[in-house]
Structure 1
Amino acid sequence: MTATSVQLQHEIKDISLAPLGRKRIEWAGREMPVLRQIRDRFAQERPFEGIRLVACCHVTTETAHLAIALKAGGADALLIASNPLSTQDDVAASLVADHGIPVFAIKGEDNETYHRHVEIALDHKPNIIIDDGSDVVATLIANRQNQLADLIGTTEETTTGIVRLKAMFKDGVLTFPAMNVNDADTKHFFDNRYGTGQSTLDGIIRATNILLAGKTVVVAGYGWCGKGTALRARGMGANVIVTEIDPIRAIEAVMDGFRVMPMAEAAPQGDLFITVTGNKHVIRSEHFDVMKDGAMVCNSGHFDIEIDLKSLGAKATEIRDARNFTQEYRLQSGKSIVVLGEGRLINLAAAEGHPSAVMDMSFANQALACEYLVKNQGKLEPGLHSIPTEVDKEIARLKLTAMGIAVDTLTNEQVEYINSWKSGT
């Protein structure tokens, strides 16, 4: 851990890792043309001049480009980790050393340190909060009511955070605007589906080096993250089972060619279990009891509560590290259950998270959502707000342009036809 600097407070693993982080940030930037264009505009227009901003995100090379863009726009920005195992320590070091951005994040930090960093973030007295799971917002509402007057609004990155914000609004405590970045089309269609699908399997393979072909893979949840995970697992030759609580999503999974059944039926069949629900104890005691010897479980939802590790630990006579990010729980029955990444996000615990090309759009949404909050300060009602359609489409247009892809435009005749009720078939 570094000593606190008079000029720039921070808490990271090792500032000497900055050169490696710098190279990796530069490499990610090759695949992030949309955010680069936004950063260049921000540098000219300075929309965040005088704005104190806190970002609670996975500290990765892609997040670095978001932080750099916000600072270029004039933001007084501070960054903390949204997950104890997702921090890339070299990236944190580069942000401090090369970009002068205060970072409080260490890979593997314990829960006490994580919550202390949340408090440090709130000590920054933010005008805007970028959240990933709504921990910072929830802590602000619960413990720092006196700071609400300074808050312009928040943006939320993930499904779990949106669920929490909806609960806050229902309880009458969400008294400020919150931008629903997660549900932007250029976020969840691509980040959740293609990003999670690829990076989840990347993390599993790095942690275990198993062959997926021929394995029975159980995917818990068939939202956009589950769809992407199931699709990629099948593409690598796995036999995929989907578990769901939503009948519409269950039908969709069936029609996409997957077997669908309750977790109680899937548990004895699975070789590998992946939770992507955002809910609590999706895999629990009774499921562990009937799993195969050597079954592997991991999570690619948000928090580490999807797998009931407490009950698994109570059943274990021995817990040992089999590989990096791979723990084997030996049960009294003699069989073992293998847990990957401590039940935290496997794509970030054991790998590098989503590819930068897909995070380019997600973080473009974050950057423009922050700008939207500032431009509309005092005009937005409390509660959740969608990313404006024109912003969503502009991000898609910029992405296509960067990829060298053109699309059709409507003719005058077509415009007239779709806008008139008088023109029939």
Structure 2
Amino acid sequence: MIAGKVAVVAGYGDVGKGCVQALRGFGARVIVTEIDPINALQAAMEGYEVTTMDEACKEGNIFVTTTGCEDIILGQHFENMKDDAIVCNIGHFDCEIDMSWLTKNMMMMMMVSGVLQVLAQIELWVNTSKYPVGVYFLPKKLDEQVAAAHLDKLGVKLTKLTDKQAKYLGLPNEGPFKPDHYRY
């Protein structure tokens, strides 16, 4: 459930505009960060709050970077985010999110407050020798762990397989729940 959450979208270009409309459509209160005064004016005229990431990081539950620029969400922003914030990037390189800070601080963050759960990105970042440059499908189990990490904050209650159901389906109780060839 996104309804009632605060979504922060960095950038109000073509991708950002589509993202904020989708988030608003799902019931989120959307905050936009923007460097271009024309785009900022457009966002404000369409009813979105426009502010800086330094301010928005304290309010958001969901963060989406859409800028194509580097250093959009930095360590100082992660430190000020609410517990269990969701951080993602749409369609550009990981330079928008300070991955080196995350790599150094992830374990501390998870132990102290569980601010983020970006398992797939950390796997790719930390184990670069396992993943030379290319396009990869991550193991289903890892995809499921990433998805599961976000469910509580979104108010989702997940049904658990009973032992009998798992046996009937021929699946482990804790997944993976779909074969590797299955695409969502």
* Cα deviation digits, residues 382-424 of structure 1 (max 9, x gap): xxxxxxxxxxxxxxxxxxxxxxxxxxxxxxxxxxxxxxxxxxx
Pick closer, same or farther for the CA change 1:341–1:242 going to 2, 3 Å. farther
Q: Which residue of 2 aligns with 1:245?
A: 35
Note the C-alpha offset of 1:309.
1.5
The root-mean-square deviation of aligned C-alpha atoms, in Å, is 2.3
Measure, in 1, the Cα distance between the counterparts of 2:35 and 2:87: 19
Q: Give secondary structure in 1 for the equivalent of 2:110.
A: strand
Does residue 1:282 correspond to 2:72, yes or no? yes
**Cα distance between partner residues in 1 of 2:21 and 2:80:** 26
The alpha-carbon distance between structure 1 residues 283 and 249, as it changes in their structure 2 partners (threshold 3 A), is: same
Which of 85, 89, 114 is 1:299 aligned to? 89
Match of 1:269 among 21, 34, 59: 59
Structure 2, gaps ≥5 residues long: 125-136, 144-184
Question: In proportion to residue count, which structure has more strand?
Answer: 1
Equivalent-residue separation in structure 2 for 1:269 and 1:289 (angstroms): 12
Is the contact made by 1:277 and 1:301 (CA closer than 8 Å) also made in structure 2?
Answer: no
- Counterpart-to-counterpart distance in 1, 2:68 and 2:38: 18
Residue 336 in structure 1 maps to residue 115 in structure 2: yes
SS of the residue corresponding to residue 117 of structure 2 reads strand
Aligned pair count?
126
Deviation at 1:340, TM superposition (A): 7.0
What is the aligned partner in structure 2 of residue 124 from structure 1?
none
Distance 1:278 1:290 in 2: 23
Does 2:4 align with 1:218? no
The verdict on how the C-alpha distance between 1:256 and 1:341 changes in structure 2, with shifts beyond 3 A counting, is farther
Matched letter for residue 2 of structure 2: L
1:316 aligns with 2:106: yes
213 and 276 in structure 1: CA distance in 2 versus 1, 3 angstrom threshold: same
Deviations 1:57-105 (A, max 9, x none): xxxxxxxxxxxxxxxxxxxxxxxxxxxxxxxxxxxxxxxxxxxxxxxxx
- Does the 8 Å contact 1:298/1:340 carry over to 2? no
Q: Give the distance between the partners of 1:223 and 1:340, measured in 2 at CA.
A: 28
Between Structure 1 and Structure 2, the one with more helix by share is: 1
Cα 1:340–1:279 shift into 2, 3 Å: farther
Counterpart of 1:236? 26
Flag structure 1 segments of 5+ consecutive residues without an equivalent: 1-210, 319-328, 351-425
Query: How many Å apart are 1:335 and its aligned residue?
Result: 4.1
Structure 1 residues 226 and 271, CA, compared in 2 at 3 Å: closer, same or farther? same
Q: Is the 8 A contact 2:32 2:51 kept in 1?
A: yes
Residue by residue over 1:33-55, the C-alpha shift from the partner in whole angstroms, topping out at 9 and shown as x without a partner, is: xxxxxxxxxxxxxxxxxxxxxxx
Q: Percent identity, aligned pairs only?
A: 46
Greater Cα radius of gyration, structure 1 or 2: 1
